[in-house]
Amino acid sequence: MIYLCLAHMSEAGAEQQFVQKAFDDNWVVPLGPNVDGFEEDLKSFFGGDKEVAALSAGTAAVHLALLGCGVGRGDEVLVQSFTFCASAHPVSYLGATPVFVDSEPLSWNMDPELLEQAILHRIAQTGRKPKAIVPVALYGMPYDCERIMRIATRYDIPVIEDVAEGLGSRWRGRMLGTFGRYGVLSFNGNKMITTSGGGALICADAAAKKDILWRATQARDAYPYYHHSAIGYNYRLSNVCAGIGRGQMTVLAAHIAHHQHIQQLYKALLNGLKGIQLHEAPSPDYESNFWLCTITLAPALRIRGQQQAYTAAVTGAVGGAAGVLHEAAGADNCRPNANVEALRLALLACQVESRPLWKPMHKQPVYANAPAYTNGVSESLFRTGLCLPAGPCVSDDDVRYIVDCIRSAMDCD
């Protein structure tokens, strides 16, 4: 099976060495030398001007960043709609309301014009500014940092950059995650590097990091007994998992280069396939890590078997998702086109994992009543798009095979 993106250990086994030392020294708790070292490694990777707090998940990082921005019950947070649910759910954890902003068509990320319209409309509607802005580096592609930060500065609203998929991506040469008040990282098993799970939060300075880590360790105050003046959380990364992360840092640059190479190979091999468009960087300003390579299918494109798309009940998680699934409530009126589903099934029959693009948050039933500022871009992309394998385990021959499978699935009659 050719998977979308799976963790790949370093050739020298650096991960095992760091983890073994954690066991040898009995540092198997949510603190220790590997945690400190991993944070320093990340700090160095981002240029040394920021501080980094290692955490148990990227979702935890979003949650803590929102708290760091003062988000609470009754507040509103502007969130990119075209994203994974972890960008939005922590807003709801806090009793706040996500306000969804649609994408612009080139980067597929938050539309700055819609963002400003949303800010002005929310102020007019509620008499208050939203408490934070959450743009997302979708599939590794940068957002327009210049315009989004200019708008955020104009209205004095902090930015939480969700770069869970964008580790190593840059806007005009500057690393994503260093523009806003906070930058969210994920080290899930399918990200650019992994700690088997885990995440981190890029903070402006040592004081901000100290506050985040206080919240991440149950918010204990400095008394000779357990004393709490605020609600805290158990969100620290373990020393064992941080050891995996330290080893992964030794191959991060190679992983980024590999993903970018795979993107270029797809570009060459898909060239000339009518009806299939590879998503590319809009300009040299956008330096993506291409965490996943993505395509869109013209609605008129015919894929063999698309007449039977959606006729079989889904019995497992699509796209490598883990966990327990809730039984489907019925037919969904917002779903990828039949040719997209047919191509997914054709690739699966070839032992190739693929995945629809993220379903926009404003189309999710759980957010049916959330305010949304839309232009149709994310819905259109969701209906026509598919993610292709790009991870460190994907070889050049795999890409050639994948494109051959796509070509074979196209109905040329």
Instruction: Tell me the pLDDT tens digit for each residue of 254-271.
Output: 999 999 999 999 999 999
Encode pLDDT of 147-193 as tens digits: 999 999 999 999 999 999 999 999 999 999 999 999 999 999 999 99
> What angle is formed at CA 209 by the lines to CA 238 and CA 218, rounded to 5 degrees?
55
Give residue 323's pLDDT.
Answer: 65
Structure tokens, 230: 């605020």
| Residues 6 or more apart in contact with residue 117 via CB below 8 angstroms | 373
Give residue 321's pLDDT.
Answer: 52
| Count of other CB atoms within 10 angstroms of residue 7 | 21
CA distance 57 to 197: 6
Encode pLDDT of 274-324 as tens digits: 999 999 999 999 999 999 999 999 999 999 999 999 987 676 666 555 666
Q: Taking the CA atoms of the chain, what radius of gyration do you get in angstroms?
A: 21
Give residue 15's pLDDT.
Answer: 94
- Reduced to 3 states, what is the DSSP secondary structure of residue 170? strand
**Does the pLDDT at position 56 exceed 60?**
yes
**Phi/psi at 306 (nearest 5 deg)?**
-70, -15
Give residue 10's pLDDT.
Answer: 87
Closest CA to 34 of 221, 212, 238, 242: 242
Closest CA to 297 of 264, 260, 343: 343
| Residues 6 or more apart in contact with residue 257 via CB below 8 angstroms | none
Structure tokens, 114: 């819609």
Q: Starting at the edge strand that comes first in sequence, how are the strands of the sheet with 76-80 ordered?
A: 132-134, 76-80, 97-101, 372-373
The 3-state secondary structure of 193-214, one letter per residue: CCCCCEEEEEECCHHHHHHHHH
**Does the pLDDT at position 99 exceed 70?**
yes
* Rama region for 277: left / alpha / beta (φ>0; ψ in -120 to 50; rest): beta
Q: How many residues does the chain have?
A: 413
| Residues 6 or more apart in contact with residue 397 via CB below 8 angstroms | none
b/e 115-143 (16+ beta carbons within 10 angstroms → b)? bbebbeebeeeeeebbbbbbbbbbbbbbb
Q: Which region among 91-95, 322-326, 348-352 has the lowest average model confidence (pLDDT)?
A: 322-326
**Does the pLDDT at position 31 exceed 90?**
no
- Reduced to 3 states, what is the DSSP secondary structure of residue 286? strand
How, if at all, do strands 160-162 and 182-186 pair? parallel
Give residue 225's pLDDT.
Answer: 95
Residue type, 125: Q
Encode pLDDT of 120-130 as tens digits: 999 999 999 99
- Asked whether the beta carbons of 46 and 252 are under 8 A apart, the reply is no
- Sign of the Cα torsion 279, 387, 295, 160 reads negative
Q: Which helix (H) or strand (E) holds 171?
A: strand 170-171
Bridge partners of 267, per DSSP, are none
Give residue 413's pLDDT.
Answer: 54
Closest CA to 381 of 15, 59, 61, 109: 109
**Does the pLDDT at position 233 exceed 70?**
yes
* Rama region for 319: left / alpha / beta (φ>0; ψ in -120 to 50; rest): left
Rounded mean pLDDT of the chain?
Answer: 95
% of the chain residues with pLDDT over 70: 96
- Reduced to 3 states, what is the DSSP secondary structure of residue 163? coil
Q: Decide which of 356 and 325 is more confident.
A: 356
Closest CA to 303 of 335, 279, 337, 278: 337
**Phi/psi at 381 (nearest 5 deg)?**
-65, -40
Closest CA to 270 of 399, 374, 394: 399
- Asked whether the beta carbons of 278 and 253 are under 8 A apart, the reply is no
Domains and CATH numbers, the chain: 14-251 (3.40.640.10), 253-409 (3.90.1150.10)
